[in-house]
Structure 1
Amino acid sequence: MVSSNNAPESKGFVSPTVNDTNAQATDGSSGAAPTRSVAATAAPSADSAPEIIAESPRAASPVHSEKLAANLNVKGKAGHAVIDQRQTIPTTGKRRHTTKWEYITFCLFYFSLNGAPIGNNGGGLRQALVNMKYPDGYLTWGGEYIPINAMLLRVQGVMFAAQLVTLMILGPYADYGNWRPWIMIVGQVLLYICQFSLCGISQPDQWEAAQALFVVGSLAANVVNSFYAATFPSIVRDLPKLIESEERVKAGTESPENHSKLDEYERAKLYNLNNMTGSYVVAVVYAIAVGMIAGIGYTTNEQKITSFRAALGYFGFMTVAFTVPFFILHKHRPGQQLPSGTGWLTAGPKQVWSAAKSAKKLKQVMLYLLAYFLLNETWGTYWAVTGIIQNDVIHYSPLMLNAFSLTADLCGGTGHLLLLILQKRFRFSVKQGVMFGAVMTLIPQLWGGIGRFTTKVGFHNEWEFWLVQAWNITTAAWGGYNVTMISEVVPGPKSYMFFALFNCVGKTSGFVGPFITAAIIQADGGKNNGAYWFLLGTGLLGLLTLYFVDTDQAKIDSAACEFSFLI
């Protein structure tokens, strides 16, 4: 998976690659201090790339830069804009190279984001307990007598609303200073606590405690997920090969278009590596979990609960093992300086206001934000509905649940491996990758919708859930490229705020979708499959919106956009 390059640490790390034609030597050319304008020439260092690189705060010759940009094609202007954004706003420190082990542990960390820590077994435990408590399938919740599945979807909506508020508060501040890794650390520790606490839940009367721990743990996991995603562009852009490419563009020995292609490819490669590594590692861990659950037993209610608790403890330990190394090795990279006359309390709201005023200049960001909202509405709620139906069909079997997850991760990992190979061979764009992935996510919606009219297909049979896990080989493209697409369109200096915004929008869809589908299910007499038609229509609208997003124009717009009070 990852190169075993043993080059000295001081020369940085060339990211993992399979005979990458764009890979560059790591020694030399990265010691120069970037300036505001990519047209300003910087002399490379003679021998090696130091781990820390100074950056000058402002432009030296913007007029020359603008003349150079005017003579470039759209791809060239986009590459020019990617570099120019780095010097838009002064930072709090010096640039740090991404090292080999930082890159490796960043990939391994993805294990925690893959649903294994709390999503599957924690969700399965709370659903099993509430069904044991209310065997007729109905309960009083929020003053209403409703189906259990409708209640579970409403709780999903409440959980996503809490995530929305949390991310809206944290996101605007995370671009300042170098404290943002602590958001991930605190969130991950909270997830550890909830995982291990669920191991102590064993009685049906404790279903509300299980639900509370599941909600808090899922909230923590999603906050970590958001800021993990916001971290990956800096991991890529601080690779020595990317730094050296920037310097060659500034020196006039490489075209901005080539740099733009290299930057796009490396970002797509890393996120596919993350997904592939996470999927294969989780598959191995799930294989062990399946054997452990088979040994405990899973036929009686008592055995099911014991198996879920054992799995939660096992996955909790593995989550610690796969995430702590990254926290140790992760560089606390510099963020933006606080604007003159702005304190910490007002910096977040002022940044949000500045971004809001700039929204009309960032049309491509807004367009992808809409597409992202609609497609996440479809895909996230699809899994919520399908997961509930799946648990009913397999009678909350922890063995089957973990076997399904094993299959999904093996197929998903294989899908990401194929994408890595195909993208290296054909160099298709991130937008093309995310378009393909979006189309593949809509096919299961249609399949589920057909189940409204027949019980032969449409998620009424166990074999269909094996099939939907295997379908991950195609939907891997959505998982691998939808986050990379965010980094294609948002302004680089404001990545944490915009990633938080996109995550908020994703969670808003998770808030809206479950409530709408719960209402559809309730109005349809408890029949789940009617909800898929709403999801399919929403997804088709999102796909149409995605088609019109122009990533090159997004980069140009981001470089031209001035967050005036911060500069």
Structure 2
Amino acid sequence: MIGFITHGATLVFYAALFPRLARNTAHARRLRDIYEQGEISVEEYEREESLVKNHISNISMAHSSVGCIITLALNFSILLPRAGDPKVDNYVLVLTNGYWVLLGIWWFIFQQPRPGSPLPKGEHYVAIGWKRTWMALKQYKQLPHTFIYLTVVFLLADGFNTTGTLVYICQSDRFQFSLLQNTYLGLVQVVVSIMSTLGFWYIQRYWKIPTKKMFAVTNVATILIPLWGMIGLWTTKFGFHNVWEFWAYNVISGLFQVPYYAFSQTMMAELTPPGFDNMFFGLFGLSNRASSLIGPNVVQAIIDSSGNNWKGFPFLFALCTAACGVLWFGVDVQKGRRDAIIWAAKQRSHGQTDASKSEIDTEGSPKKKL
């Protein structure tokens, strides 16, 4: 449990750095300069800045998948030669955790001091995070599209994560895959995800497709996979009843899963007020993880009452379809982005931000009125 908590917190605040990085790349600064000089329209500026964010998000996700391949290859170095050892799974867990320690410890040794804003007088490190979260939640009227998107993320994460868990339950119900076989499945998914992430990015860059449309395409899998499982209620020839379907599932997950995470992260960056990245990415992380308290419990109740694992798929299909509908019809990224910039400017005028003064000076909100 501690491992999952710390891992989740690490991912949230790691992701919160990327919109600030995107705003301060050489290309983004150059875009900002020519926009402020009136050489390009606001629409072109927003489109090009969005592509900068997508580039960083997609390439970083592809690199993450490369790291997964390395980890899986290390796992094979134990799984294959010691396949008959009853403790082989334990050895692999030790190796995987050692990989984390080996690569993570250097951060604590070589990290440079990067102080943020000082702690406000009368505040405490334990309480201020919760206060900031509450403060952010109260802004829903001023940032409607940001909060509608957070609701979408909550529903999608609920459906997406619970669907993956239910597929694994169906797999375990019919077949006993060893850790070695599951590692092969994971390797297939990761290799496909690298190709799909780069492919999605090149398609987006070539045709300059907005983030929302790319994200909507990746959500096809969130609807089709529970629909796939739903078919298994009426036939055993299709619908996660065959070994080949679990291989196919990992291929399809690889095609859409990592791009889904990349574009969902970019959407959040576009709807986050500049200078308040940690605050709103904290809500983004909560939306992703708090959802896992609801979906699994509802599906488990359905399974317990029916005695059929496949009965959980209709609920997940309805949930994912509803979330995709809200995303498409309820979230206006352009308006939400401009609302976020206006809101951030008002907060800065009152001296409130989660960035340091030097960071605020380079945050990059265009000086021209949007």
After TM superposition, give the deviation of residue 423 of structure 1 in Å.
1.7
**Counterpart amino acid of residue 316 in structure 2:** L
Q: CA RMSD in A?
A: 2.5
Residue number among 296, 301, 322 corresponding to 2:82 in the alignment: 296
SS at match of 2:293: helix
Aligned counterparts of 1:394 and 1:330: Cα–Cα separation in 2: 46
Q: What pairs with 1:43-442 in structure 2 (closer than 5 Å)? A: 215-253=1-39, 255-298=41-84, 303=85, 305-324=86-105, 333=114, 335-336=116-117, 343-344=123-124, 347-348=128-129, 350-442=131-223
Task: Give secondary structure in 1 for the equivalent of 2:137.
Answer: helix
Amino acid in the other structure paired with 1:520: I
2:340 equivalent in structure 1: 558
Alpha-carbon shift at residue 324 of structure 1 (Å): 4.8
- CA drift of 1:373 comes to 1.1
Counterpart AA for 1:484 = T
1:478 shift after superposition: 1.2
**CA gap 1:342/1:264 in 2 versus in 1, 3 angstroms:** farther
Structure 2 vs 1, CA of residues 400 and 414 (structure 1 numbering), >3 Å: closer, same or farther? same
The amino acid across from 2:302 in the alignment is I
Look up the match of 1:161. none
Deviations along 1:1-33, whole A, 9 cap, x unmatched? xxxxxxxxxxxxxxxxxxxxxxxxxxxxxxxxx
Matched to 2:273, the amino acid is P
Which position in structure 2 is the counterpart of 1:509?
291
- Match for 1:368: what amino acid? Y
Once the two structures are superposed, what CA deviation does each residue of 1:105-155 show, in whole Å capped at 9, x if it has no partner? Answer: xxxxxxxxxxxxxxxxxxxxxxxxxxxxxxxxxxxxxxxxxxxxxxxxxxx
Q: Counting helix residues as a fraction of each chain, which structure ranks higher?
A: 2
Pairing partner for 2:311 from 504, 515, 530: 530
Please state if 1:486 is matched with 2:268.
yes
Cα deviation, 1:409-454, whole Å, max 9, x if unaligned, reads 0111111011122122111111111100112221111111111222
Alpha-carbon distance in 2 for matches of 1:333, 1:432: 36
Q: 1:274 deviation in Å?
A: 1.8
Q: Is the 8 A contact 1:490 1:555 kept in 2?
A: yes
Q: After superposition, what is the alpha-carbon deviation per residue over 1:161-186, rounded to whole angstroms, capped at 9, x for unaligned?
A: xxxxxxxxxxxxxxxxxxxxxxxxxx
Q: Report the equivalent of 2:360.
A: none
1:395, distance to aligned residue in structure 2 (A): 1.6
Q: 1:334 to 1:547 in 2, by over 3 A?
A: farther
Whether the 8 Å contact between 2:142 and 2:339 is mirrored in structure 1 is yes
Q: How far 1:257 sits from its partner (Å)? A: 3.8
* Superposition pairs of residues 492-503 of structure 1, within 5 angstroms: 492-503=274-285
Aligned in 2, Cα 1:444/1:490: closer, same or farther, shift over 3 Å? same
Structure 1 residue identity aligned to 2:340:
S
Task: Show CA shifts across 1:71-106 (max 9, x none).
Answer: xxxxxxxxxxxxxxxxxxxxxxxxxxxxxxxxxxxx
Instruction: Return the index of the structure with the highest Cα Rg.
Output: 1
Question: 1:323 deviation in Å?
Answer: 4.1
How many residue pairs match? The answer is: 346
- CA drift of 1:469 comes to 0.7
Q: Is the 8 A contact 2:270 2:337 kept in 1?
A: yes
Amino acid aligned to 1:243: R
Q: Which has the higher contact order (CA 8 A, sep 6+)?
A: 2
Q: CA deviation at 1:559?
A: 2.0
Q: Which runs of 5+ in 1 are unaligned?
A: 1-214
The alpha-carbon deviation at position 233 of structure 1 amounts to 1.3
DSSP-derived class of the 1:455 partner: coil
CA contact (8 A) 1:435 1:547 kept: yes
State yes or no: 1:543 paired with 2:329: no
Q: Which amino acid aligns with 1:487?
A: A
Give secondary structure in 1 for the equivalent of 2:234.
coil
1:368 Cα offset (Å): 0.6
Instruction: Name the residue aligned to 1:180.
Output: none
Task: List runs of 5+ in structure 2 lacking aligned partners.
Answer: 353-370
Q: Do the aligned residues in 1 keep the contact of 2:31 with 2:49 (CA within 8 Å)?
A: no
- Normalised to the residue count of structure 1, the TM-score between the two structures is 0.57
Which position in structure 1 is the counterpart of 2:227? 446
Preserved contact between residue 290 and residue 403 of structure 1 (Cα < 8 Å): no
Deviations 1:53-79 (A, max 9, x none): xxxxxxxxxxxxxxxxxxxxxxxxxxx
Tell me, yes or no, if structure 1 residue 456 matches structure 2 residue 237: yes
Which residue number in structure 1 is paired with residue 367 of structure 2? none
Secondary structure at 1:361's aligned position in 2?
coil
Q: Does the aligned pair in 2 maintain the 1:441–1:478 contact within 8 Å?
A: no
Partner of 2:365: none
Closer, same or farther: CA 358–492 of 1 in aligned 2, 3 Å: same
Quick one: percent identity of the two aligned structures? 25
Deviation at 1:254, TM superposition (A): 5.1
Contact 2:169 2:309 in 1 (8 A): no
Residue pair 1:264, 1:430 contacting (<8 A) in 2 also: yes
Matched residue, 1:521? 303
What is the rounded CA distance, in whole Å, between the counterparts of 2:38 and 2:232 in structure 1?
60
CA distance 1:375–1:216, change in 2 (3 Å): same
What is the alpha-carbon distance in structure 2 between the residues aligned to residue 371 and residue 559 of structure 1? Answer: 21
